[in-house]
């Protein structure tokens, strides 16, 4: 079993889960050696991910692989041509790996994509589904969609099976970016203007995403399928902050401002996209995974939020 991006937030969790399962011999593909990776895991340094990466040493004897390595969504983009930068890694780099994997006789390729392939927002009660027409809006989403299309074409032309998993925002111990910032604001007791947001957003706990990915490695019905990932419960931003406050032992200080006011203020501050994510809805229907794979998220939202909060609190005390 090969896992790429094994030092990342999701890749490391996949490696640890597989290494704990005695059915798998796990190899981690890495840009450079990682001293604190699970000792039982073989490390294979492949360097940077692009159209020239030589994956053949890492693929020797591999039956299945999970591809989590990617150029991820960038909050403050500095590249002159962001789409070209995303395509070089997420499309050309992924296809290079997939072609060499097919040549090496790999039987199944599990690809971690993104809900951004579907789009950026939904109407409440009208979640995205796997068979919706993709409408990616940013370079990251476009690159993931193009990679999906290239992988499915390769699956049609070779014996290698492809499984695509599209997660929304992933949270859990070790989470960074906006989710971690939101938790820290709650922990500091900062007043937040999100006390009256009636949206719905699908999130996925890291343990739930890893469980779905591991299910997709071996389940016969997963071959050449696309699955949306998510928790069993969608939350409004208001409810998410309240539950985070409970998990942190610091009740969230929420001011009930109307969503349009927040969006106007955010636009004036150059933060329109952030406000849209906090005030708008983005839901995913995870019913296909239940129907096809018999999969349900094993970890409840409150338990996952508590684990995330415990990690943040322990990190703050170090």
- pLDDT tens per residue, range 13-29: 999 999 998 889 999 99
Residue 173, phi then psi, degrees to nearest 5: -55, 130
Structure tokens at 82: 């962001």
Question: How far from 65 is each of 2, 202, 217, CA to CA, in Å?
Answer: 5, 26, 8
Q: What gap in Å lies between CA 234 and CA 170, rounded to an integer?
A: 13
* pLDDT band of 77, cuts 50, 70, 90: low
Between CA 209 and CA 215, with CA 213 as vertex, the angle to 5 degrees is 115
Lowest mean pLDDT among 66-70, 71-75, 157-161, 255-259: 71-75
Whether the predicted pLDDT of 260 surpasses 90: no
Tell me how far apart the alpha carbons of residues 193 and 278 are, in angstroms, rounded to a whole number.
Answer: 10
Asked, for residue 154, whether it belongs to a domain, the answer is: yes
Count Cβ atoms below 10 Å from residue 221 Cβ, excluding itself. 10
Task: For residue 95, count CB atoms less than 10 angstroms from its CB and return exposed for 0-12, middle for 13-18, buried for 19 or more.
Answer: middle
Catalytic residue, chosen from 55, 140, 194, 295, is 140
CA dihedral defined by 131, 134, 135, 139, rounded to 10 degrees? 150
The one-character DSSP state at 221 is G
Task: Answer yes or no: pTM beyond 0.85.
Answer: yes
**Residue range of the domain that includes 70:** 2-166
For residue 25, tell me if it sits in a domain. yes
> What total of structural domains would you count in the chain?
1
Residue 171 known to be catalytic: no
Q: CA 307 to CA 312: how far, in whole Å?
A: 9
Q: Is residue 33 part of a domain?
A: yes
User: Do 117 and 134 form a contact (C-beta atoms < 8 A)?
Assistant: yes
294 falls within a domain: no
Asked whether residue 287 is assigned to any structural domain, the reply reads no
How many angstroms from the chain centroid is the CA of residue 81? 24
pLDDT in tens, 35-69: 989 888 999 999 999 999 999 999 999 999 999 99
Nearest residue to 179 (alpha-carbon basis) of 94, 264, 277, 297: 277
Torsion of CA 138, 141, 143, 147, to 10 degrees: -160
Render pLDDT for 154-191 as a digit per residue (tens, 0 to 9). Answer: 999 999 999 999 999 999 999 998 899 999 999 999 99
Residue 150 included in any domain: yes
**Is residue 100 in a domain?**
yes
Q: What pLDDT does residue 75 have?
A: 58
The two three-digit tokens of residue 137, written as one number: 């809006």
> Residue 152 maps to which CATH number?
3.40.50.720
**CA dihedral of residues 31, 35, 39, 43 (deg, nearest 10):** 20
Cα–Cα distance measured from residue 98 to residue 108, given in angstroms and rounded to the nearest whole number: 10
Query: Is 258 among the domain residues?
Result: no
pLDDT in tens, 92-144: 999 999 999 999 999 999 999 999 999 999 987 899 999 999 999 999 999 99
Yes or no: say if 201 and 237 are a contact pair by the CB < 8 Å rule.
Answer: yes
CA atoms within 13 A on the CB side of 67: 31
| Residue labelled with tokens 């039987």 | 107
């Amino acid at each position: 079993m090969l896992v790429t991006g094994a030092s990342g937030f999701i890749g490391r969790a996949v490696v640890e889960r597989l290494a704990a399962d005695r059915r798998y011999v796990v190899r981690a593909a890495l840009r450079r050696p990682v001293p604190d990776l699970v000792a039982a895991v073989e490390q294979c340094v492949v360097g940077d991910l692009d159209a020239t990466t030589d994956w053949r040493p890492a693929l020797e004897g591999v039956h299945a692989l999970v591809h989590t390595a990617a150029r991820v969504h960038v909050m403050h983009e500095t590249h002159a041509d962001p789409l070209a930068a995303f395509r070089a890694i997420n499309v050309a780099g992924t296809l290079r790996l997939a072609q060499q994997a097919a040549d090496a006789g790999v039987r199944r390729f599990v690809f971690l994509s993104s809900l951004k392939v579907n789009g950026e927002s939904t109407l409440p009660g009208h979640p995205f589904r796997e068979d919706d027409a993709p409408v990616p809006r940013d370079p990251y989403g476009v690159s993931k969609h193009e990679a999906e299309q290239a992988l499915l074409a390769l699956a049609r032309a070779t014996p290698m099976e492809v499984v695509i998993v599209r997660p929304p925002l992933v949270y859990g111990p070790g989470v960074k970016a906006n989710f971690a910032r939101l938790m820290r604001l709650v922990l500091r007791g900062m007043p937040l203007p999100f006390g009256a947001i009636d949206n719905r957003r699908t999130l996925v706990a890291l343990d739930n995403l890893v469980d779905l990915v591991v299910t997709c490695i071996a389940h016969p019905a997963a071959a050449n399928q696309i699955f949306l990932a998510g928790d069993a419960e969608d939350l409004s931003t208001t409810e998410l902050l309240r539950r985070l406050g409970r998990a942190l032992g610091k009740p969230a200080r929420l001011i009930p401002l109307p969503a349009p006011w927040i969006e106007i203020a955010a636009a004036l501050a150059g933060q329109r996209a952030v406000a849209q994510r906090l005030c708008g809805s983005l839901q995913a229907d995870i019913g296909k995974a239940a129907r096809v794979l018999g999969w349900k998220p094993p970890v409840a939202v409150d338990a996952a939020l508590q684990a995330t909060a415990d990690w943040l609190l322990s990190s703050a005390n170090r």
